[in-house]
Amino acid sequence: MSRVILRCNLRGLVRIVGAAAVVSIAIGSAGRADSPDAALIQKGEYLARAGDCIACHTNPGDKLFAGGRPMPTPFGTIYSTNVTPDPQTGIGAWSADDFYSLMHRGRSPDGGLIYPVMPFGSYTKVTRQDCDAIFAYLRSVPPVHQPNRENQLRFPYDNRALILGWRTLFFDEGEYKPDPGKSAEWNRGAYLVQGLGHCTMCHSPINALGGTSESRAFEGGLIPMQEWYAPSLTSNKEAGLGDWSLQDISELLRTGVSRRGAVYGPMAEVVYDSLQYLTDADTRAMAIYLKSLGEGSPPGVAGANVPPAVGSLLMALGKTVYDAHCATCHGAAGEGMPPAYPPLAGNQSIQMSSAVNPIRMVLNGGLPPATSGNPRPYGMPPFAQILSDDEVAAVVTYIRSSWGNLGEPVSAAQANALRSAPLD
C-alpha cells in the first residue's frame, strides 16, 4: 500500500519489466585493469547500468545479454535481441557506427527499421561518446551464440513499414542539448532521465498507436500489459515530487526507500538493476531535474471524499479490515513507520485518480528492492487469498478517504479485474 512513484522502461511498445520479484544477475567489471580500453569499458558498463540494458536483453536464468526475453505488448510479443559480441547471432560483426545508428536513429546495420520497443526515441539523446563507451562494454562481455527469436506480432503490426508512420508522429532524432539557463546538475539530470533512463516510456500516457506526444511527457499513465500505473511526474497531485526534498528523491532512486515512501512493482526492478549503481552525484542530478518537473504545479490531490451514501457501510467495513490487517504496520491513523512502513495519510500515490497501484498492493503485496543502501527491505504480504473483492474495495476506499485523504471510492469490480493482473 506504499508509494509507487517512478517507472521508467516501457517494455512492449513500452518497456515491460518484472514486478516486485527481481532477478539477481550480476554484471561483473569488464576489461583488464592494464588494458588501454579498461577505462572506456568501465564507463560503458556504468552507462549500460544507467540505461538498464540488462532488464530487456537478459532473459531471467539465461546468459548475460543473450536476449530472448519475451516482452508482451498490445500488438503481440516482441523478443529482445542478443547484444553479446557473438559474430553470427549478436553484435560481434557490428561497428561503432552501426551501434550508434541503432541508438541514435533506430535503424539496424542494414538500414532496417527497429520496433520502438527498443527505446531509441530516448536513446537518440545519448551522446556519441557515451554510445561508443556502451558499445565497448558490450563487446567485452562473453559472447553467446544464441539466435534471436522471431517476434510474434499480429497483422498488420508485423509489417515493419508501418514504423515509418510511427516515427513521423513520435520520433525526433537528436542528441540532448543542454539548457544554458539551467545548472550543470539540472542538465546532467535531464540527460539521464530523458535519455539513458528513458523514463518517459512509462511515465507518459501511451495512445492506441503505442506512442506519446512530447507535449504530454511525464504526465503519467497505465503501463500496458502489466497493469501498474506510473504516476505523473509533472503534477503534485500524483507523484508530488515538487514537494519532496532532494534527499528524499535521491534516497528513493538509490535505495528504493525514503521517509516519504518506497518503490514496488516494476520500479523495484529498475532500482535493483540500474539506479542503485549510479553515483550519488548522478542520483542527486536526477533528483534536481525530477523535482523541477513538479515544482509550481497545484498542491494537493485529485479526487473527492467518499459520498455519504457510499460511506456508511463501505467505510465501516474498510475500517474493520484495516484495523485487522494494516494498522499494525501502517498505524491506526495511517502515520506509518518510515522508512520500513511508509505512511498512508497524505500519501499522493494512495489518492491518485487511478486506484490501480493501491489495489494491486493489497492483492499481491510487494517487496522493495534489496539494495546496498537497504539490504534487508521490509515487504508487504499479499491479501488476495484472504480478502474478498468487497473487502479489498472497502479497505482501499477507507485508506484513500481517511485521515484527510481525498481519493475516490473503489468498487468490487475494480478489485476483481486486477486479481488476474500479471505478477511479472
Q: Can you give the pTM of this predicted structure? A: 0.85
Q: What's the chain's Rg over C-alpha atoms?
A: 22
* Cα 315 from Cα 306, distance rounded (Å): 9
3 state DSSP class of 116: coil
Q: What crossing angle do the helices spanning 389-401 and 356-364 adopt, rounded to 10°?
A: 130
CATH code for position 353: 1.10.760.10
Residue 36, preceding peptide bond in cis (omega within 30° of 0): no
Instruction: Please say whether the beta carbons of 280 and 372 come within 8 A.
Output: no
Q: Are residues 241 and 316 in the same domain?
A: no
Residues 59 and 104 in one domain: yes
Strand residues in 115-214 grouped as ranges (E): 152-153
Residue 90 is given by DSSP the state S
DSSP assignment of 100-126 equals HHHHHH-B-TTSPBPPTTS-HHHHTTS
Domain end marker among 299, 329, 345: 299
Do 279 and 365 lie in one domain? The reply is no
Residues 221 and 164 both lie in one domain? yes
- Return the C-alpha torsion angle 199, 203, 205, 208, nearest 10: 50
Contacts of 328 (CB under 8 A, 6+ apart): none
Residues 273, 220 share a domain: yes
Distance CA 374, CA 340 (A): 10
User: Is there a single domain that holds both residue 201 and residue 220?
Assistant: yes
Residue with C-alpha cell 567489471? 29
CB 400 within 8 A of CB 410: yes
Which of residues 280, 299, 318 is at a domain's end?
299
Long-range interactions of 322-325: CB distance < 8 A, separation 24+: 322/395, 322/398, 322/399, 325/383, 325/386, 325/387, 325/395
Cβ atoms of residues 230 and 220 within 8 Å = yes
Give the separation between CA 262 and CA 330, rounded to whole angstroms. 13
170 and 315 assigned to the same domain? no
Q: Which residue has the cell 471510492?
A: 409
> Which range of residues forms the domain containing residue 366?
308-420
Tally of domains in the chain: 2
82 shares a domain with 127: yes
Question: 68 with 114, same domain?
Answer: yes
Max CA distance (Å), the chain? 73
- Return the bridge partners of 71, or none: 78
Residue that terminates a domain, selected from 239, 269, 299: 299
Each residue's pLDDT, cut to its tens digit, for the chain (424 residues) gives 433 333 333 333 333 333 333 333 344 444 444 455 899 999 999 999 999 999 999 998 899 999 999 998 889 999 999 999 999 999 999 999 999 999 999 999 999 999 999 999 999 999 999 999 999 999 999 999 999 999 999 998 889 888 999 899 899 999 999 999 999 999 999 999 999 999 998 898 888 778 887 878 888 888 877 889 988 888 877 876 888 899 999 999 999 998 888 898 889 999 999 999 999 999 999 999 999 998 766 655 545 555 555 567 889 999 999 999 999 999 999 999 988 888 999 888 888 889 999 999 999 998 899 999 999 999 899 999 999 999 999 999 999 999 999 888 999 999 999 998 877 6
25 with 89, same domain?
yes
Q: Are residues 147 and 14 in the same domain?
A: yes
Shared domain check, 341 and 274: no
Is there a contact between 144 and 63 (Cβ–Cβ < 8 Å)?
yes
